[in-house]
Amino acid sequence: MSSDDIEYYRARAAQERAAAADATQSEVAAIHLELARLYEALAEQPELRLGRALLGRAPFSLPLPPSGA
């Protein structure tokens, strides 16, 4: 995995921690903290990553289902 990918995961973790700090509801803060923990794990543990070759695009940019589905 490239250093760009690791930087991406670490930046996303930081964004999630900031969102947790800004959250007004404890449940929402907990979700953001869990996402931060998962992004950090992706940065630190290569075996957890699917990889760009498998997805053919940036990490975790999977298509969303059509609205109403």
How far, CA to CA in Å, does 60 sit from each of 15, 27, 52? 16, 23, 9
In a domain, 17, yes or no: yes
Decide which of 63 and 66 is more confident: 66
pTM above 0.75, yes or no: no
pLDDT tens-digit series, residues 11-57: 999 999 999 999 999 999 999 999 999 999 888 887 666 654 444 44
- 49: containing domain: 3-55
Buried/exposed 14-40: b ≥16 CB within 10 Å, e otherwise: eebbebbeeeeeeeebeebbebbeebb
| 67 part of a folded domain | no
Domain count, the chain: 1
Phi, psi of 31 (to 5 degrees): -65, -45
Q: Do the domain assignments include residue 19?
A: yes
